[in-house]
Amino acid sequence: MWWLSALGGLSVLVSGLLGLDDAVGVLERIAPVLVFLVAVTVIAGLADSAKVFEVAAREAAHLARGKVWRLWLLVVVLATALTIVLSLDTCAVLLTPVVLAMARQLEIPPKLFAFTTVWLAGTASLLLPVSNLTNLLALHRLDQLGLGLSDYLGLSWRPALAAVLITVAVLAGLFHRDLRREYAVPPTPAVDDKVLFWSSAGVCLALGPAFVSGVEVAIPASVGAVVLAVLFAVRRRAALKWSLVPWRLVVTVVGLFLVVGALTAHGLEQLLGDIAGTVSSGVASDLRLTGTAAAGANLFDNLPAYLAMEPVAAAEGHRMMLLLIGVNCGCLLTLWGSLATLLWRDRCVAAGVHISWWSFLWRGLVLTPLVLAGTVLALRL
């Protein structure tokens, strides 16, 4: 996908569909988001190298004492926390292979944990701005409306809670047979370097308070990445690889921004306004906006869907949150609905777990209408 995005971005620049000044403005806007994306991905990769997530998953297996339903609830907590603090992409990339390997070792059907990680990566990504790139982008518009971080949290916490609870309830219903199983408790993996382990765990835990402190999120993320990079340079230099830097994701984000910027400059906003409506006058109009955003995310990926629809929702904070609900929680019908879902499926394939498009779609058709309706209603409370 990254090369298609790069080709699209170059095409709109070369063709003149997007002027140079407009392109510079786009890049200036997304620069802090890209810095955050790179920094938090480096932190997550180094923490994974220090076995932070593997130990967390195995400790969950111990705490569950052989009961799958207890283990699943602990994975729910871990996936939700990881998504909220380190973003949905981190949850998809790092937690998925850990829980799938754990399921294989414990002889538990893996789809329970596979769908738990990918669904919560989407539906748990509303609460904080750092939980999803779309949320970070929304902060810029909210700031123009005179709304800060506390205002964002005031809008997000009720639908975020509703989204997680509905997701957990649907998962429990779909996989109730698997939840009745039992397993033999495995040993906790040995930690090679306790300094790196506890330092990495400490940085991950410190990011949560730092991200809600009101400081530009790129700053604590960058500090944390530098601290861990220095520690690993001293104690385990081999772990510092260029593959830690998510350059394909960066190229994808830049290309998508340029393409959507060009389309918006040539009438896309008017078309989407006609489809999604331009005012919120009740539950029906709210669902219309959220449903349009969700449809766009499932057809074209949630990031370009957000970028395209942002001008339609930018008039008030309530509509901005409806847009985020649609692109964050409603993108779970297609395997390309978000970058996180694409990354998750790659990890499933690598682990030998086959998830067909139909298997993903029919389960998503159960969850998506419920989670969209529930979150929209929660927002209106």
Q: What are residue 182's DSSP bridge partners?
A: 67
Looking at residue 344, its amino acid is W
Q: How many CB atoms lie within 10 A of CB 281?
A: 8
Give per-residue burial for 236-268: e unless 16+ CB within 10 Å, then b: beebbeeebebeebbbbbbbbbbbbbbbbeeeb
- Residues 249, 253, 254, 259, Cα dihedral to 10°: 140
Q: What is the pLDDT of residue 225?
A: 95
Count up the domains in the chain and report the number: 1
Mean pLDDT score across all residues of the chain: 89
Q: What is the pLDDT of residues 146-174, one digit of tens each?
A: 998 899 999 999 999 999 999 999 999 99
Which residues does 332 contact at the CB level (< 8 Å), separation at least 6? 118, 119, 122, 123, 341, 364, 367, 368
Range of the domain at 111: 2-380
Q: What is the pLDDT of residues 321-359, one digit of tens each?
A: 999 999 999 999 999 888 789 879 877 887 889 999 999
Q: What is the pLDDT of residues 237-267, one digit of tens each?
A: 999 999 888 888 788 888 887 888 888 777 7
> Cα separation of 124 and 278, whole Å?
27
Task: Note whether 98 and 79 are within 8 A (CB).
Answer: no
> Cα separation of 355 and 352, whole Å?
10
Q: What is the pLDDT of residue 142?
A: 92
Give the distance from CA 116 to its chain's centroid. Answer: 13
Kindly indicate the confidence band of residue 1, based on its pLDDT and cuts at 50, 70 and 90. Answer: low
> Cα separation of 38 and 19, whole Å?
27
Q: What are residue 67's DSSP bridge partners?
A: 182
Does the pLDDT value for residue 105 go beyond 90? no
